[in-house]
Structure 1
Amino acid sequence: MNLNDLLLEPLGYDFMIRALATTVVAAIVCAVLSCWLVLIGWSLMGDAVSHAVLPGVVIAYTLGAPFAIGALVFGFLAVALIGIIRDTSRIKEDAAIGIVFTTLFAVGLVLISVTPSQTDLNHIVFGNILGVSTADLIQIGVLAAVAFAVLVVKRRDLTLYAFDPTHAFAIGLSPRLLGALLLGVLALTAVVALQVVGVILVVAMLIIPGATAYLLTDRFSRMLVIAPALSAAASIVGIYLSYWLDASSGGLVVVVQGAVFAVVYLFAPKQGVLRRWRTRRRRTRDTVSVA
């Protein structure tokens, strides 16, 4: 089998085309948002929101409503509950996040176990890329477009908030509102990625691309280009591998992203472990030589 067959055969199936389109769209918007999450240190918040939407999805299914509506409601609910617990008690934010997301996620698992259904709701937890319908693709595209548009329009304010919220406040911006806006986009983006890789792997798509780009450049504007480019490429490779290996699509997408991070972590030109090790070794040798 030649290279053309390897690349073109999967494209002969409509479900593969939908899977590729959906995954690339989700990968791009998740990667752009991940740049801010990594910069601010909100990785755990991304984990919380992505898990907390599970009961909303199950309830929406029970009521016959679109999954996105239930997920959005519970995404915003999770953010609100975290803020309430943090601001009205001695509990710190990391503990509040842990309490809210584990509780809501557990509620979702319980609802799945007791909800009579002819549909396997476990795909919500583990993802079902190859089962994405045309309607799902349109819904994901619209939600991703809204999230992406907000990030692009407000990128300067959000970047200033990430680097220096005090200065943002001094020039008339509201750090609280900007934080709330970013959390809202996080909830929306989690819904986009939910239907691609499932609840468990959403956090990977929200964190790994930004972390990878962070090791490759010192400029945030370049991060916003590198992260989605790498994420989209990794997603395409992951989908193709899932077809040829007959393995989990969502899992392989995240595995490829993790592999890219590992390569960058080791071999990045400036921040790579091997580069820094060689630099320290050379400095030590030069110091010994001078002495």
Structure 2
Amino acid sequence: MLSPVDFIADLLNPDLAFLPKALAVAMMSSLVCGIVGSYVVLRGMAFIGDAVAHAVFPGLAVAFVVQGSLVVGGAIAGVLTAILVAVFAQNRRLKEDSVIGVFFVAAFALGIVIISRAPGYAGSLQQFLFGSITGIPDEDVLVVAATGLVLLTVAFLLHKEFVLVTLDREMARAAGIAVFVVDLVLYVMVAVAIVISIQTIGNILVLALLITPAAAARLLTDRLAVMMLLAPVIGASSALIGLYLSWSLDLPAGGMIVLVATGVFLLSWLLAPRHGIVVRATGRYRRSGDPDPALAAT
């Protein structure tokens, strides 16, 4: 197995320029997904993330056929689907998950039809589904960086609104917050975060980058601010370790990144200081009716 020193040497090797580029995209995607994923986990929106991951597929397929940017094509398709879901979900006769189910299946089917018309589509389909982190064009690296910065800025500016709508939608309406607009912005952010991550770990696995680090962070802390710091750290660390293992053992990069993140989640589930199974089994945890020690101290 390749030593960490040799891995660093390979990252600095000019003949392996694709490797640091792959690491940069993986780290940027993980940081953005960690922040956006925190809102997704708090709101129980994992199914929406899965839907958007499928919905971007026709945009990727069109971009491939016309030899355009996969990031731009996927973003357009994902944003359009997110808007449709947000609009149709306002009709309370249909639950949100039903609307999502209709649109993400239709979008994925459309993507399959489009890409089947392209020459050599079997290979490109595998690339979309499982990622191609070592073949990312230079221009897409810049697009990912710029898009990630925009998403993080929006999350910072609308953090209070996202949290209030997550905790109590009726109170948010009473406070004068446009709940539909906040929902729409969050759906679009999920779509864009998924698009910039698809080339890293693929369409099938991308939901793990959005959900798993945030879910692990949720087990480790009760404070939202700490969770939103931990989730990107867990995601970026998983990307680094996963890419190292992938390069060392000649295994798929996307799969290794997801497995490392899943390992962190399982460790958090077992050993989290207040919510871990081991701590709860030994009785050294605060019961739900007991006062929070931090609040009691203040």
- Paired with 2:108 and 2:122, the residues of 1 have a C-alpha distance of 19
TM-score scaled by length of structure 2: 0.88
Q: By how many angstroms is 1:65 displaced?
A: 3.0
Q: By how many angstroms is 1:180 displaced?
A: 0.8
Q: How does 1:104-253 map to 2 (within 5 A)?
A: 104-117=107-120, 120-122=123-125, 123-253=127-257
- Paired with 2:198 and 2:3, the residues of 1 have a C-alpha distance of 35
Contact kept in structure 2, 1:60 and 1:70, CA below 8 Å: yes
- Paired with 2:202 and 2:195, the residues of 1 have a C-alpha distance of 9
| Aligned pair partner of 2:20 in 13, 17, 22 | 17
- Paired with 1:148 and 1:133, the residues of 2 have a C-alpha distance of 23
| Aligned pair partner of 1:91 in 91, 94, 101 | 94
Task: Give 1:286's aligned residue.
Answer: none
- Paired with 1:3 and 1:83, the residues of 2 have a C-alpha distance of 46
Structure (1 or 2) with the greater helix fraction: 1
Q: By how many angstroms is 1:114 displaced?
A: 2.4
Q: What one-letter code is carried by the residue in structure 2 that aligns with 1:29?
A: V
Task: Give 1:289's aligned residue.
Answer: none
Closer/same/farther in 2, CA of residues 169 and 84 from structure 1, 3 Å limit? closer
Equivalent residues, number: 282
Q: By how many angstroms is 1:142 displaced?
A: 1.2
- Paired with 2:162 and 2:85, the residues of 1 have a C-alpha distance of 21
Give 3-state SS (helix, strand or coil) of 1:115's partner. Answer: coil
Give 3-state SS (helix, strand or coil) of 1:150's partner. Answer: helix
Q: By how many angstroms is 1:102 displaced?
A: 1.9
Q: List alignment gaps of at least 5 residues for structure 1.
A: 284-291
Q: List alignment gaps of at least 5 residues for structure 2.
A: 288-298
Q: What one-letter code is carried by the residue in structure 2 that aligns with 1:182?
A: L
Deviation digits for residues 16-57 of structure 1 (CA, Å, limit 9, x no counterpart)? 100111100000000100100000111100110011110111
Verify: 1:57 aligned to 2:68, yes or no: no
Deviation digits for residues 147-182 of structure 1 (CA, Å, limit 9, x no counterpart)? 111111211221222122222222221111111111
Task: Give 1:287's aligned residue.
Answer: none
Contact kept in structure 2, 1:197 and 1:251, CA below 8 Å: yes
Closer/same/farther in 2, CA of residues 9 and 134 from structure 1, 3 Å limit? same
- Paired with 1:264 and 1:73, the residues of 2 have a C-alpha distance of 36
- Paired with 2:63 and 2:4, the residues of 1 have a C-alpha distance of 43
Deviation digits for residues 50-79 of structure 1 (CA, Å, limit 9, x no counterpart)? 111101111122234322232122212322
Q: What one-letter code is carried by the residue in structure 1 that aligns with 2:205?
A: L
Q: What one-letter code is carried by the residue in structure 2 that aligns with 1:215?
A: L
- What is the Cα-based RMSD across aligned positions, in Å? 2.1
Q: By how many angstroms is 1:137 displaced?
A: 0.8
- Paired with 2:60 and 2:225, the residues of 1 have a C-alpha distance of 35
Contact kept in structure 1, 2:11 and 2:19, CA below 8 Å: yes
Q: By how many angstroms is 1:104 displaced?
A: 1.4
Q: What one-letter code is carried by the residue in structure 1 that aligns with 2:35?
A: V
Give 3-state SS (helix, strand or coil) of 2:282's partner. Answer: helix
- Paired with 1:180 and 1:85, the residues of 2 have a C-alpha distance of 11
- Paired with 1:117 and 1:199, the residues of 2 have a C-alpha distance of 19
Task: Give 1:82's aligned residue.
Answer: 85
| Aligned pair partner of 2:41 in 18, 38, 41 | 38
Q: What one-letter code is carried by the residue in structure 1 that aligns with 2:85?
A: I
Contact kept in structure 2, 1:26 and 1:144, CA below 8 Å: yes
